[in-house]
Amino acid sequence: MLLRHTPDKVVERTALTINPAKTCQPVGAMYAALGVSKCLPHSHGSQGCCAYHRSALTRHYKEPVMATTSSFTEGASVFGGQANILEAITNIFALYDPEVVAVHTTCLSEVIGDDLSQIINKAVAEGKIPAGKRVVYASTPSFKGSHVTGYSNMVTSLVQNFSENSGKKISQVNIIPSFVEPSDMAEIKHIASEMGVKFVMFPDTTGILNGPMDGKFRMYPKGGATIASIKSAGDSIKTIALGRTGAMAAAKLLDTKCKVPCEILDLPVGVGGTDEYVDLLRKTYGAAVPESLLLERGQLVDVMTDMNQYVSGKRVSLVGDPDTLVGVARFCAENDMKVLHVVSGTAPGPKFERRIRELCGESVVVKTGAQADMFYFHQLLKGERPDLILGNTYCKYIARDMDIPLIRIGFPIYDRVGHSYFPITGYRGGLRLLEKVLDTFMDRQDRDAAEESFELVM
């Protein structure tokens, strides 16, 4: 009911966010850490912070998310959290035996100024970290950035701490995906594998947050990028970063630190984006494009051609994470849909807006940053009503209030399943996304059809 009081007139705000279209950095950092084999994320802050981060991921993936915390109390908040994390490191290795502890900071530890580098060095000097084990950290204050920023910072930390240049090149390609679903990571790997490309992909949450129910508890599910593979990334022939906001920083650091050249691509959603990814793999590795991928591409193009009349000219509004939005906007454009609005709580910079306008035309409304929230998104929809919303679970209130169909993409999705098992990337992911769009439009057409127009065949 409260949504019906959202005014149509947009008033620019500089110091107020209403229902943000993002969540905090540590959530993304925790997700990235889970994509490393036998890695335990550690939240350097209060128990409540860690509980929220774990809860957000658990509700999205319907999987248990393991993480530890420094458990700040009033004393740690005043005098610093060094004693807490030193004790935590001792207990973690004694009780849970991870290969890596990936520490991310929180608002509290950032505000009081804990020096994680000094603290970790002290833990090493005091023998609290067993031989062959590692503790790494990323700075992820929640009062700036978003979960995508936190993801990027943790992936960059993995490069900083593990990747090495031995001076001898390996015939392999690094693939760094942005904050995407385990299903999307699996699809990105599937394409490279079908082409016979040797690759290192990190992080990799495939099988960790979409694993099977086999009746066995595993503290560290099978899967994830190994430390050895991340180390070897410094000797690869090229790095492909899939998404400018979530993956570019790590790829550029690999270039600077280990002299591995990088290329930044859009997230491969739909035909055009996937074609670019496939073509870059082909050129970089000298690999042929197999019949299996040509078949997948042909099936997607076939459905695009057969069903274009049902999507052509439809108006859509998008809200979510920058890299996902670029990929989905490109998908909408190549299916002749008109993108009206693109809103992201993350602030990726001016290149994002330019890229969206390249894909969707100058008329599209693009807004990013703290004031690009769900309240603002709702106002945009009241001003120019779309036929479809593409966004996360929080869009359901707006969709219900305005009676606009919603397809859930991005993070978080709390009220549906399937996103962690079925991709939107690659040709197969594009086919699934197009099927969902077509089903949504056709369901609406059936619902609203007059009795004499309610046909068996569309």
Torsion of CA 323, 327, 330, 331, to 10 degrees: -150
Is residue 268 within 8 A of residue 276, CB to CB? The reply is yes
Rg (CA), the chain: 23
* Same-domain check for residues 77 and 54: yes
Single pTM value for the model = 0.96
Q: DSSP string covering 424-441, please? A: SSHHHHHHHHHHHHHHHH
Express each pLDDT in 189-208 by its tens digit.
Answer: 999 999 999 999 999 999 99
pLDDT of residue 292: 98
Q: Is residue 90 pLDDT above 80, yes or no?
A: yes
What is the SS3 assignment for 417? coil
Number of domains in the chain: 3
The upper half-sphere exposure of residue 35, i.e. CA atoms within 13 Å in the direction of its Cβ, equals 32
Express each pLDDT in 91-138 by its tens digit.
Answer: 999 999 999 999 999 998 999 999 999 999 999 999 999 999 999 999
Q: Is residue 157 pLDDT above 80, yes or no?
A: yes
* Same-domain check for residues 186 and 136: no
Cite the active site residues.
107, 111
* Same-domain check for residues 355 and 416: yes
- Which CATH number fits the domain that encloses residue 239? 3.40.50.1980
* Same-domain check for residues 243 and 117: no
Q: At what angle do helices 270-285 and 322-334 cross, to 10 degrees?
A: 110
Beta bridge partners of 238: 173
* Same-domain check for residues 311 and 445: yes
pLDDT of residue 306: 96
Q: Is residue 170 pLDDT above 90, yes or no?
A: yes
* Same-domain check for residues 216 and 331: no
> In whole angstroms, what is the distance from residue 89 CA to residue 110 CA?
19
* Same-domain check for residues 424 and 331: yes
> In whole angstroms, what is the distance from residue 343 CA to residue 322 CA?
9
* Same-domain check for residues 193 and 133: no
Average pLDDT of the segment spanning 445-451: 92
Average pLDDT of the segment spanning 447-456: 90
pLDDT of residue 233: 98
pLDDT of residue 2: 58
pLDDT of residue 15: 86
Express each pLDDT in 213-249 by its tens digit.
Answer: 999 889 999 999 999 999 999 999 999 999 999 999 9
Residue indicated by tokens 């082409």: 195
Express each pLDDT in 308-337 by its tens digit.
Answer: 999 999 999 999 999 999 999 999 999 999
Average pLDDT of the segment spanning 246-256: 98
The answer to whether residue 241 is domain-embedded is yes
* Same-domain check for residues 359 and 400: yes
Is residue 406 within 8 A of residue 395, CB to CB? The reply is yes
Domain of residue 386 covers: 2-15+304-451
Residue 75's pLDDT band, with cuts at 50, 70 and 90, is confident
Percent of the chain with pLDDT over 70: 99
